[in-house]
Amino acid sequence: MTVPEVVLENDALRMTVLPHGGHIVEFRHKGLDLDFTWRSPRRGWPGSGDFFDTYPGGWQEVLPNGGAPATYRGAALDQHGEVAGLPWECVPVDGGVRLTVAARRTPLRVSKVLRLDGARLRVAEIVENEAPVEVHAMWGQHLAFGRPFLVPGARLTLPDGVRVIPHGSTINPPRRAVAPGGPYPWPVVPTPTGGSVDLSVVPEPGAPSEIVYLTGFTDGWYTLRRPGGPGVRVEWDAAVLPYLWLWHEAGDTTDYPWWGQAYVVGVEPFSSYPTDGLPTAVANGSALTLPPRSSLSLDWSVEVLP
């Protein structure tokens, strides 16, 4: 069935999902009265046009293309792939909801069950290749955090041994926070001007826009906490999604699509990198390879930390 939105609620949490696109646009801790998701200033809604015209912010599935529009084996893929722009079938299940979508330009189908368990969201997913041929994909969870939860000085904590791979060029404006090169040890990395920046600390408004790729996870987890206050702990299977994309947009993009209005940090478990699209991930060997008529499962969760 198709509905404008689905609300899951228990004593601790309220979560709102838009079945068109499968976007989680509210993840609110009721006791704190605090929403952890970021909402786009453009307040996108289903319809035709560029990805950013319909992107509502929040959290969504990225498949099969990560980042910029790209063409893969004749299929033209939009920014962040297909499934975030398609209507998902929504069916209640015991204690939660199942969302399912079949991609149109690639032979992939995604089904996921979302359940609230106390102050934690638990998600169990499966991606299927329905074709009799091998298919590549980039698969990620675009978890974007914003105000009122996100504040300057909030801290991102990761397991030991993580390394930082800078993006190959600047994103949006010409400034960047991290010097090219690497990989660098997490979290303090060099800047283009010869200084250093601590990527574990959420920057002040107006800091350079940036995206980097974190690797070296033996266990897939991170925490993001406000100074002296609440936060979240995200856990995922790092054998399936071995990278973590870290995206900062603190208002430095004063042209399209953000017009200086965005203050958001994306901390996004991903199968592959970079944000240049699926063909680049295939070329660097990080893309997923789905054999003919195969499937791949993933469990992940987000827990509110008081």
- The backbone region for 286, taken as left when phi is positive above 0, alpha when psi lies in -120 to 50, beta otherwise, is alpha
Residue carrying the six token digits 């696109």? 21
Distance of CA 14 to the CA centre of its chain: 20
CA 98 to chain centre: 20
Residue 68 lies in a domain: yes
Judge whether 82 lies within some domain: yes
DSSP state of 12: S
Phi, psi of 132, deg, nearest 5: -85, 15
Question: Is 1 a domain residue?
Answer: no
Q: What is the pTM of this model?
A: 0.95
Q: How far is CA 293 from the centre of its chain?
A: 26
| Nearest in space to 219 (alpha carbons), one of 201, 235, 195, 200 | 235
User: Tokens representing 213?
Assistant: 């790729």
Q: What is the pLDDT of residue 47?
A: 52
Q: Where are the alpha helices (DSSP H) in the chain?
A: 51-54, 278-284
Domain that holds residue 13: 6-305
User: Where do the DSSP E strands lie in 78-139?
Assistant: 89-93, 96-102, 108-117, 120-129, 135-137
3-state secondary structure of 24: strand
Across the strands, what pairs with 34? Answer: 29
Count the alpha carbons within 13 Å of 167 in the hemisphere toward its beta carbon: 21
- Series of mean pLDDT values for 10-residue runs along the chain (306 residues): 82 96 96 96 62 86 96 95 93 95 97 98 98 98 97 98 96 90 97 97 96 97 96 98 97 92 97 98 98 98 97
Residues 6+ apart with CB under 8 A from 107: 129, 130, 131, 135
Residue 1, pLDDT score: 46
**H helical segments located in 153-257:** none
d(CA 115, CA 118): 10
Q: Is residue 157 one of the residues assigned to a domain? A: yes
Q: Which helix (H) or strand (E) holds 289?
A: strand 288-290
Q: What is the distance in angstroms between the CA of the first residue and the CA of the last residue of the chain? A: 36
Looking at the 3D structure of the chain, how many domains does it have?
Answer: 1
Paired with 29 in beta bridges are 13, 34
Amino acid at the residue 250: A
CATH number, position 278 = 2.70.98.10
59 is a domain residue = yes
